[in-house]
Chain A
Amino acid sequence: MAKERGGLMENGLEGLNHNMLTGRLEDLVKWARYRSLMPATFGLACCAIEMMGTGGPHYDIARFGMEVFRASPRQADLMIVAGRVSQKMAPVLRQIYDQMMEPKWVLSMGVCASSGGMFNNYAIVQGVDQVVPVDVYAPGCPPGPQTLLHAIITLHTKIHDGELTRRRATGQGAGIVVEQRDGQFDSPVTLGRR
């Protein structure tokens, strides 16, 4: 057993069997892509605080290879639109999106980014899908780290399955809506008992 599992030193080239992976090129590329997505910093409002919390030690987005938030859109793969997009910010959002290199994905975090949220008025763009194509919508106000991670893992799964490269043909986002995973606390808040 030890001889079989031994490496280069013990067994020569035969020992490398266990250290080599083979696969199709597309699978390896997809694996590299979704295992180290780099998010662009696009934290706008309250959702940005929860996004930073997801990067913190308790929820640790680094497990998924994503703790490196790139400030430069040229180096980023994923734009997490975290927060409400105002009329003044919409052109900036589009400009940042355009500067990102393909393949790129957009995750709309929170209800304000997904649909305008509770702010249905002159100031807020009613959903960032008016401006950029969105791949995953994460609901919540704000979505807690568990929901955000659920949305991110959904995106990872879709990248892994290769479905999302079809997006580029149509220019539309994948438009997947995930469910909210927060509020799983044991003792519920007892409203109006007394």
Chain B
Amino acid sequence: MSTTQHDSEQVHDAEAAAAIGAVSTSEGRQELLGADVTAAAERLRELGAVLRVSEAEAMLLGEGADPNDETMIINMGPQHPSTHGVLRLMMELRGETVVRTKPIVGYLHTGMEWTGEELTYIQGATNVTRMDYAAPLFNELAFSMSVEQLLGIEVPPRAVWIRMLMSELNRMSSHLLFLATNGMDIGAVSMMLYGWREREEVLRFFEMVTGLRMNHNYIRPGGVAADLPDGWRSAVLRLLEMIPPRLDEYDTLLTGQPIWRERLQGVGTITTEECIALGVTGPILRSTGFAADLRRDEPYLAYDQVDFDIVVGTYGDCFDRYAIRLNEVRESMRIVAQILEQMPKGDYRIQDKKVTPPPRARIDESMEALIHHFKIFTEGFKVPEGESYVPIESPRGELGCYIVSDGSSKPYRMHVRGPSFVNLQCLPHMMHNALIADSVAIISSVDPIMGEVDR
């Protein structure tokens, strides 16, 4: 890495930076022309925002560093106070400015896709739920819907609406977690306490319904594990009464606040074309002004029967992403209120003896029920040969579960397309020419959950 190379990069960077500036404020973002994306792809390649050097090389560079060299490679993580898990960033700095970055992941690799091949389909939800641990019900939902597509079954309406209720509440708790950690990272430490206060209330409802505060294993192939208990309506109503005024408090606390704005506006900008070229989805894509939300574009569950808005930003910066997630909490509450009115009666899981276990009470009465229970819990139910991919809109973007089945009771291959894994690729481009102090704000606004990055 010679100095001359840096000079030419610097010149090129200035032009490219100007080009980015021009695109991010241009009109007509909704029109997506192929040429723009090509330009973005070329720009992403030439910009040199991604540091591609192996860890061994980086260590050698550090040891024999030339004191006249303008740039320095430093390491941030994997253990650092920003609460985004074990993400390691290798940053090439010129003074305080970040030139290139390499996000290094794998510190939480758990072999979950391998585990998915070892567990039966009814146990599968326990495994996938621990991927995106801030929004566990979404992982379970993607997995269950993928299995149901392979089985060719349809879950009863009440199960669909219960799933939707739990998903939207989980979206709320995930975004509250984002608000808490984002606030703390920027320095508004009291936001951490407020976010957790709200989140606890939602977790209490989850504990009432599913038995667990996190990693619920509630949404299973065929429906949900248990029906909503008595008193759920008043519990949800209590949530819907308590959270909006507090959200307004956070809005007042943060949105207009000058320091908050200074730290987030204009920081970590990215354009629609770059997002699409990188495969970035979710609030990051929406912050650039592109309204893509799978709940509306490819409706699943019963999202076509409820009314809600898609929140989009304008500038693609960190402030937009914060504002989007804050307002998505409000939209989720709107959906929950509609679910309360429209929740149908009926079965909470499909009454198919081969797929769902019988009620515990019936095991004492019927030999057949006992045999089915035994077979389902030891051997598992067999799923026809085939493959399926089901995408859903998780709080972080498009979460999809790709399952290949060979006709046995365990998946032959289970792959989860984690949105954070793909979204992390936009970090180098957001952090290019930003200050080191902004890197914390940028990582926080991307809101990665390392469980689904590393799986």
- The answer on direct contact between A and B (beta carbons under 8 Å) is yes
Complex: chain B residue closest to A184, CB-CB: B207
Please state if A88 and B106 are interface contacts (CB–CB under 8 Å). yes
- Chain B CB within 8 A of A142 CB: yes
Contact B110 A185 (CB under 8 A): no
Give the complex CA separation of A182 and B211 in angstroms.
Answer: 10
How many angstroms between the C-alpha atoms of A122 and B109 in the bound complex?
Answer: 10
Q: Which of A48, A183, A192 is close to B85, meaning CB atoms less than 8 Å apart?
A: A48
Which residues of chain A (51-96) have a CB below 8 Å from chain B? 52-53, 55-58, 69, 71, 83-84, 86-89, 92, 96
Which residues of the partner chain A approach B360 to less than 8 Å between Cβ atoms? 191-193
Are B115's CB and A45's CB within 8 A?
A: no
In the bound complex, CA of A159 to CA of B152 (Å): 58
Find out whether the CB atom of B85 lies under 8 angstroms from the CB atom of A45. yes
Given A41-B79, A118-B126, A191-B360, CB of A46 within 8 Å of CB of B215: yes
Contacts of B212 in A (CB 8 A): 183
Bound CA–CA A71/B358 (angstroms): 50
B12, CB-defined interface residue at 8 Å: no
Interface contact A57-B196, CB-CB below 8 Å: yes
Q: Does A42 contact B (CB under 8 A)?
A: yes
Task: Tell me the nearest residue of chain B to A188, going by C-beta.
Answer: B211
Q: Are B215 and A142 in contact (CB under 8 A)?
A: yes
Quick check: A45 and B193 within 8 Å, CB to CB? no
Nearest neighbor of A112 in chain B, beta-carbon distance: B110
Contact (A43, B215) CB under 8 Å given A86-B107, A88-B106, A89-B108: no
The reply to whether B193 and A193 form a contact with Cβ atoms under 8 Å apart is no
Interface residue A164 (Cβ < 8 Å from any Cβ of B):
no
Interface membership of B357, Cβ < 8 A: yes
> Would you give the shortest CB distance from A87 to chain B, in whole angstroms?
8
**Listed stretches B60-68, B222-230, B326-334; interface member:** B222-230
**Are B207 and A185 in contact (CB-based, < 8 A)?**
yes
Determine the distance from Cα of A185 to Cα of B133 in the docked complex, in whole angstroms: 22
Given the known interface contacts A96-B79, A187-B229, the answer about A121 and B115 at a Cβ–Cβ threshold of 8 Å is yes
Chain A residues near B85: list those with CB within 8 A.
Answer: 43-45, 48
- How many residues of B are in contact with the other chain, CB < 8 A? 55
A176 is an interface residue with CB less than 8 A from chain B:
no
Partner of B83 from A48, A89, A121, A182 at Cβ < 8 Å: A48
User: Does A49 lie within 8 Å of B133, measured CB to CB?
Assistant: yes
Q: Are B107 and A92 in contact (CB under 8 A)?
A: yes
Residues of A within 8 A of B357 (CB): 192
- Contact, CB under 8 Å: A44 / B86: yes
Number of A residues whose C-beta is below 8 Å from B? 45
Separation of A50 and B85 alpha carbons in the complex (Å): 13
Contact of B78 among A52, A56, A92, A119 (CB under 8 A): A92
A153 to B176, CA, bound (A): 29
Knowing A43-B85, A185-B207, A192-B361, the reply to whether A86 touches B226 (Cβ < 8 A) is: no
Q: Is the CB of A52 within 8 A of B196?
A: yes
Given contacts A56-B197, A71-B81, A86-B454, contact A123 B109 (CB under 8 A): yes
B410 located at the interface, meaning its Cβ lies under 8 Å from any Cβ of chain A in the complex = no
Q: Are A45's CB and B200's CB within 8 A?
A: no
A94 to B112, CA, bound (A): 24
- Which one of B83, B108, B180, B207 contacts A45 once the chains associate, using CB atoms below 8 Å? B108
B211's partner among A69, A83, A189 (CB-CB below 8 A) is A189
A121 to B113 Cα, complex, angstroms:
11
A113 contacts partner chain B, Cβ-Cβ < 8 Å:
no
- Cβ-closest chain B residue relative to A62: B193
Is the pair B210, A189 in contact by a Cβ cutoff of 8 Å?
A: yes
A192 x B108 contact (CB < 8 A): no
CB pair B107 A122 closer than 8 Å = no
User: A96 CA to B227 CA in the complex, in Å?
Assistant: 45
Of the candidates B107, B215, B348, the one whose C-beta lies within 8 Å of that of A88 is: B107
Contact among A56, A142, A144 with B193 in the assembled complex (CB-CB below 8 Å): A56
CA distance A89 to B445 in the complex (A): 25
A-B residue pairs in contact (CB < 8 Å), sample of 22: A42-B79, A44-B85, A44-B86, A45-B110, A46-B130, A46-B215, A46-B451, A49-B177, A53-B199, A57-B200, A71-B80, A86-B106, A86-B454, A88-B106, A118-B115, A121-B115, A183-B212, A187-B231, A188-B211, A190-B226, A191-B225, A191-B226
Please list the 8 inter-chain residue pairs (A to B) with the smallest Cβ-Cβ separation, ordered nearest first. A56-B196, A71-B81, A123-B111, A46-B133, A189-B211, A192-B359, A192-B360, A121-B111
